[in-house]
Amino acid sequence: MKTRLLLLFFCLSAVNILAADYVYCDFETKDLNFATNNSITYEVVANPVSGGINTSAHCGKVISAGGKWELIYSASMEEFIDFNESKIFKMKVYSPRSGVPVYFKVEGGAPAKEVTTVTTTKVNEWEELIFDFTSLDPQSMVYNKFVLLFDAGNEGSGETFYFDDIIGPDAATVTIPETNFITYSDFEDITLNFTQQNTENDMQYEVVANPDKSGINTSDYCGKLVTTSDNYELLASDVMDTPFDFAQYGFKFKMKVYAPTVGNVYFKVQNTEGSSNKEAQLYCPVANQWYEMEFDFADLLPASGVMTKIILLFDANSPVEGDTWYFDDIQGPGEDATAIQHIEVNQALTYPNPVDNRINFYETQENALVSITSLNGKVVFKERFTGNSLSVSELNLDNGIYFIRINEQTASFIKK
């Protein structure tokens, strides 16, 4: 059995459980590396007033630069927050005035969760603020980063804030499982339907014959994309019936690419609503031959049971108008491909192929049930039929690949 992520819930020996009221940062025995946006300054300094509830020697110091949303954010931690037993965080704050809103957010492999309504009540004195995530219902073992804002939403005026002792729910290290690859699309008998996500550009996508059946890819068909000059020419798959289960089956994807030039390829997983996504970028180092790219999301840790779509971007950020990219054999984590359309194909059932105006049948039983299905699973024709041919032009089929089933026999054909 593959090693599984998040075995915390099934086998305590698989993770390293840390103490309750876990100290994430105290600037003494444990520190977090924080960075900033805009022009605010952050540093670790001596505690300006060591006494009362905070007698530690060091703390964090933030000086406002005048912006409304001046963030400081931690580096990603090796431990992940376990919200099963507690959803409460505490942080000590030393503020120059009362009524200051302090924004506390957790980020990681799932949509960010934030608390924005906790305000300071003391002036030039340490106090402990409580951040309660209970109503936000955060997922366990997917968050490993903090984002903080002092005087959130207000224009700063050079004020100085201190903070210390970030304490919260238990944390645990996790085991990254080896990926169990299944095929999500090979453009033969297992396929995903892709559509252009940005409808404002004129890029062209279609399923075509493999332009180079050699080397690592001898399949008959693949995806083809002709670029425009748009920087963000996204191809989005249809929503899958079953979300990716990264926790059990791993975090890697593979895809074969035939590039017109060396360049960057983005591979993104996204939830149905588009509100959560994780993307990995790889550089394709060869052109005019098939090359298999492996996208590893282990460092990004997208949440299991959330992501349901694949988004692709070729020659990311530097497209050349008219370049043609081919891609094939998209594989990723999973148990089996039962949720993906799978049809055993009998190529000798029909002719000619490709089809122009009429598809002919070698053998047709009387009163046979004939159906034609597009690559995305849409049934475009289905009826009882007696005869040896069908007029494709009367069916108003778009160009592309279709599956035709006559009783229990199935074949594929291309409408050109």
Could you tell me the CATH number of the domain that includes residue 370?
A: 2.60.40.3080
CATH code, domain with 124: 2.60.120.260
Query: What is the model's pLDDT at position 92?
Result: 98
Query: What is the model's pLDDT at position 319?
Result: 63
Angle (CA) 327 328 333, round 5°: 120
Claim to verify: residue 87 and residue 113 sit in the same structural domain = yes
Number of H helices, E strands in the chain: 2, 31
Claim to verify: residue 66 and residue 150 sit in the same structural domain = yes
Is 342 part of any domain?
no
- Of the residues 172, 205, 234, which one is the last residue of a structural domain? 172
Is 10 part of any domain?
no
Is 190 part of any domain?
yes
Is 2 part of any domain?
no
Instruction: State the Rg of the chain over Cα.
Output: 28
Claim to verify: residue 319 and residue 385 sit in the same structural domain = no
Region of residue 124 (phi > 0: left; psi between -120 and 50: alpha; otherwise: beta): left
Query: What is the model's pLDDT at position 377?
Result: 61
Claim to verify: residue 137 and residue 41 sit in the same structural domain = yes
Claim to verify: residue 301 and residue 233 sit in the same structural domain = yes
Instruction: Tell me if residue 149 falls in helix, strand or coil.
Output: strand
Query: What is the model's pLDDT at position 341?
Result: 43
Claim to verify: residue 326 and residue 390 sit in the same structural domain = no
Is 84 part of any domain?
yes
Is 75 part of any domain?
yes
- Of the residues 126, 142, 172, which one is the last residue of a structural domain? 172
Claim to verify: residue 34 and residue 152 sit in the same structural domain = yes
Instruction: Report the chain (416 residues): mean pLDDT per 10 consecutive residues.
Output: 33 36 94 88 95 96 88 90 92 96 90 90 96 92 92 86 96 84 88 76 84 94 85 83 88 96 92 88 92 91 88 79 92 68 55 74 69 72 74 77 75 76
Question: Structurally, how many domains does the chain consist of?
Answer: 3
Claim to verify: residue 27 and residue 159 sit in the same structural domain = yes
Domain of 195 in residue numbering reads as 181-333
- Of the residues 306, 333, 360, which one is the last residue of a structural domain? 333
Residues with Cβ within 8 Å of residue 7, at least 6 apart in sequence: 14, 15, 175
Query: What is the model's pLDDT at position 299?
Result: 79
Claim to verify: residue 142 and residue 97 sit in the same structural domain = yes
Is 393 part of any domain?
yes
Distance of CA 61 to the CA centre of its chain: 34
Claim to verify: residue 166 and residue 24 sit in the same structural domain = yes
Is 7 part of any domain?
no
220 burial via Cβ count (<10 Å: 0-12, 13-18, 19+): middle
Q: Which residue has the tokens 């207000």?
A: 154
Claim to verify: residue 168 and residue 52 sit in the same structural domain = yes
pTM above 0.85, yes or no: no
C-alpha to C-alpha distance for 241 and 216, rounded to whole angstroms: 29
Claim to verify: residue 42 and residue 126 sit in the same structural domain = yes
